[in-house]
Structures are given as structure tokens and as C-alpha cells.
Amino acid sequence: MTSRPPDPRHILITGASSGLGAALAVAYAAAGVSLVLGARRIEQLDSVADACRKRGARVETARVDVTDRERTAAWVRAADASAPLDLVIANAGISGGTGGGEEPEEQTRDIFAVNLAGVLNTVQPVLPAMRARGGGQVAIMASIAGFRGFPGAPAYCASKAAVKVWGEGLRGWLAEEGVRVSVICPGYVRTPMTAVNRFPMPFLMDSDRAARIIRRGLARNKGRIAFPWQMAFAGWLAGALPDAVVDRLTRGLPRKS
């Protein structure tokens, strides 16, 4: 029987100024825990850091744009050099869709730059160190939207599908070296990203609850943390059904702004 690894004590989180990133930071904050938090909005990040410090955690913050490959890599490597990172959560992401009647090229490129390249820029720099010491955990924020491309948000779906599959491949590749990899596939979570949606969001849950689910799944080293199960099943089914059926079902769905 494989023993459960100890709780992470040195954790790096991107996109930690709001939403799931902020909720995860607070969920992990405790005495003896060191958090390295990055985001573009430093004022909001400082508020999250204060909340974490009140729970006893040691917190370092930095203004980080994950699309900047060199600076993100330097930040991640410096954090790992200070104390080996037990857990890296590549959470930073943006959204957008075809609610305005089109998906502009710049919007598409921006989404891929943050959601895909930003994940690579966060995870790749720490992998050599984790592999060398034979331990560590990487969590990649994907989405149930990555189970199938939907006409309301083509670039968002595609970017999340890419990091989901990449993370699944990493998991199988690095398992024998002691590096654990999980992909996180939430449904609708109450965050600033979903606050702009003007359509029904089934099974919408608070970010605090989502963070608890994610933390529990990471502690169990689950390969895919997809929730709620109803949305996960619907996403899986959409990916399994014939295109002709799914096209008819999704053509009339609301478009994301």
C-alpha cells in the first residue's frame, strides 16, 4: 500500500489575487506553511496575502504576468531555490467567448497566451528540480470546458483541453520519478470570471467549496479532479457523442461574453 505523502508546506500559486487562486491560497494557509503567490493585480493579491497571514502562513507576493516566460521562470526558480516547492498550482487563466457575435483574433491569442503558454511557463521551470529530488506535485487548472469544444467559447475550450491533455501525459511520464501531476477540471465556480456570464450556470458553487474539493483531490493524488460530478458527466458525454448530435444540442446554447 502506497503511503500518503505529507501535506505540502511550500506552495506556489499563480492567479492568486481572486477566484479559485485566492480560495486555494486561503485553504492552504496555516502555521508552518509558506505560500508564494503571484498575480497581475498586486493590490488584490496583498489582500489575499493578509488573509493568509492571519491564518498563520508565511507569505511572499509578486506581480507576475505568466505570459512573460523569462520573468515567470526566474520567479519560480527563485522560489524553489529558497525552499524546495512541494506543490505548484498553475491556476492563472482568462476567459472569453463569442457573445459579441465573434471571437476576435487578439482575444483568441490572449486566451492561449495565458491559459496554455502561461501554464507551460509556470510548470516547466520547476520540473527539473522536482525530478532531480524525486518528489513534488504539480496541479494544472483545466476545466470541464476542455472536454469538448463549444461554440460559445472556442479558444477557452481549446486552451483548457490542451493543458488537460498535457497534464495527463506528464502524470504518466513523471510518476516513476516521484513527481505527482493532477489536472483540475471545475464546472461553474462563483468567481469574477463567471460573474460576467449572463446565462444560467448549472450547479454553480462557491470558490471556498471548490478549493476544499481540489485540496482533497490533490492530497489523494487524483489524476483528474473534475467536479461537480453532474457537469463532469455531461462534459464527458459531450465528448463521446457523435458530432452531429452534439452540434445540434450546442448550437443554441448561450454565448459567453
Identity of residue 39: A
> Does the annotation count 156 as an active-site position?
yes
SS3 content of the chain, % helix, strand, coil (to 5): 50, 15, 35
What pTM does this model have?
Answer: 0.91
Place of cell 458553487: 205
Least confident stretch, 8-17, 45-54, 141-150: 141-150
* CB-based contacts of 21, cutoff 8 Å, min separation 6: 13, 14, 15, 37, 39, 89, 91, 92
Is residue 79 one of the residues assigned to a domain? yes
* 154 touches 111 (CB < 8 A): no
Q: Considering its fold, how many domains does the chain have in total?
A: 1
Assigned domain for 98 exists: yes
- For residue 220, what is the domain's CATH number? 3.40.50.720
Whole-number Å distance between alpha carbons of 11 and 14: 10
pLDDT tens figures, 34-93: 999 999 999 999 999 999 999 999 999 999 999 999 999 999 999 999 999 999 999 999
Asked whether residue 109 is domain-assigned, the answer is: yes
Domain span at residue 244 reads 10-250
Q: Is the separation of the CB atoms in 59 and 35 below 8 Å?
A: yes
**What is the grid cell recorded at 234?**
455531461
Tell me, yes or no, whether 255 lies in a domain.
no
Among 147, 156, 166, 188, which one carries the catalytic annotation? 156
